[in-house]
Chains A and B, each alone.
Chain A
Amino acid sequence: MVPFAGWDMPVQYTGIVDEHKAVRQSVGVFDVSHMGQFIVSGPGAEAFLNRVLTNNITKLLPGQGQYTLLLNGLGGVIDDLIAYRTSEREFYLVVNASRIDADWAHLETQLNKDDEVMMANASDFTAGLAIQGPKAREVAATVFGSATSFPEHNAILVTMTSEGPMWLCGTGYTGEEGFEFFMPMETAEMWFRKIVYAVKAAGGVPCGLGARDTLRLEMGYPLNGNDLSETRTPLQAGLGFFVDLDKGDFTGREALVKQKAAGLPDKLAAFRMTGAAPPPRPHYPVAFAGEIIGEVCSGTQSPSLGTGIGMAYVPLSAATIGSTLEIEIRGRRFPAEVVKKPFYRKPSV
């Protein structure tokens, strides 16, 4: 067990590689109770969220969600999150555990008296499980029966059952089909038992933080705190797709427009070790053309590829696909190549 954002969480149950492969090949279940949930509602909710988040929330119909970012005034990333529209005037935000307090404090400063918005922080009494892998549908069918449909990609289904409400979200952090299931804390144990039982029956396993990290990194998904910070913009992080500069003003927009015009100072590059090398790990120095130019943000041994992979902020001249970096590991430098994300692509059947 390790401390993580104020929680004690397992790095692994049976082994990172076993758990990783289970998610790629059958199914795995992750405890995601640490994540935060905010409910933002009222006549002004849509306009308020569009003013503080980077993606265009007006595009969401009830039942749909999108990946989006919360920025400070300088365009730095406070958090990355999923925003779902649960009804015309209500939104469900799922945020990072380590950022719940920072997000909440920031949202409060952004709220004006006449906004007609109500915010509720449900994080402390919401538990969650992420069921991920090709057999996730099978698990859902076993646990919920035919009464509940499977949430399609980025969709949310809010259902009231005799056991209490449940939020089923067609999202995840692994690159596999799957869903995240949030429920009130008091129903969590009952659901946990049912889901873990169904996952094991389908040939899957419970998974810890270790596999969560290798799976998300193989997809090139950023982790807040490693790859995202308040001192770099989503443009530098390669997340421009989730920033709508044309939707009207939002916090951080002006800084992004300026940065775009001036050119990015650096960019989050994905790299893969090219020879036998120890796995790259966070904070290892990164060199280009002989000079140290930065450090590894995220890095690991990819269980699917069998090589070291990682991400680092490097100057644009070093960020082109195919350019050679060196990762310094215990005083020795090992070559790496800048590659396109994702690192891992599902083999076509």
Chain B
Amino acid sequence: MSNVPDNLRYRDSHEWIDPTQSPSPVGITDHAQAELTDVVFVDPPKVGTQVSAGQQVCVIESVKAASDIYAPVSGEIVAINEALTGDPGLLNRDPYVGGWIFKIQSSNLAEFGALMDAAAYGKHIA
């Protein structure tokens, strides 16, 4: 069974965001990493980019396929996880902590309410 932490919010395209932190880290869920398997490259977004909720912001590559990653909320990309450059496998091993992809400074807190909570996401992937 995939791990779906209670403190996070989720998009149907399998990104998570941590609403308790500001700026908020974003990554892919345990379910997503298990489906992709073997992440081999992360093409990160540029720090300073303004994005809107639902916009494609970067690409992660597994042996199987290239997958688009979408912004869960609108705001500015303020940091990227440099550790993924040398060790993209972190996304598979530690999707919720070490494997965050970028941090976003939200410009509209109301958007968090539109995301799924753990129970709803758990149903989504069941």
Partner of B59, one of A214, A276, A303, A330: A330
**Which of the candidate stretches B3-11, B24-32, B38-46 sits at the interface with the other chain?**
B38-46
Nearest B residue to A332, CB-CB: B43
Asked whether any CB of chain B lies closer than 8 Å to the CB of A279, the reply is yes
Q: Are A300 and B43 in contact (CB under 8 A)?
A: no
Partner of B41, one of A15, A16, A277: A277
Cα–Cα distance between A330 and B37 once the two chains are bound (Å): 22
Cα–Cα distance between A276 and B41 once the two chains are bound (Å): 8
Partner of B38, one of A11, A17, A330: A17
Nearest A residue to B60, CB-CB: A278
Asked whether any CB of chain B lies closer than 8 Å to the CB of A274, the reply is no
Q: Is the interface of A mostly helix, strand, loop or mixed?
A: loop
Contact with B along A250-292 (1 / 0, CB 8 A): 0000000000000000000000000011110100000000000
Cα–Cα distance between A18 and B59 once the two chains are bound (Å): 23
| Among B41, B64, B66, B85, residue most surrounded by chain A Cβ atoms (within 10 Å) | B64
Cα–Cα distance between A277 and B88 once the two chains are bound (Å): 12
Q: Are A16 and B66 in contact (CB under 8 A)?
A: no
With A16-B37, A17-B37 in contact, do A279 and B63 touch (Cβ < 8 Å)?
Answer: yes
Cα–Cα distance between A210 and B38 once the two chains are bound (Å): 12
Interface size on A, residues (CB 8 A): 17
A210 — which chain B residues lie within 8 A by C-beta?
A: 63-64
B76 — which chain A residues lie within 8 A by C-beta?
A: none
Q: Are B59 and A300 in contact (CB under 8 A)?
A: no
Partner of B66, one of A11, A12, A15, A281: A281
B61 — which chain A residues lie within 8 A by C-beta?
A: 278-279, 301
B37 — which chain A residues lie within 8 A by C-beta?
A: 12, 15-18
Residues of A within 8 A of B (CB): 11-12, 15-18, 210, 214, 276-279, 281, 300-301, 303, 330
Residues of B within 8 A of A (CB): 37-38, 40-41, 43, 59, 61-64, 66, 85
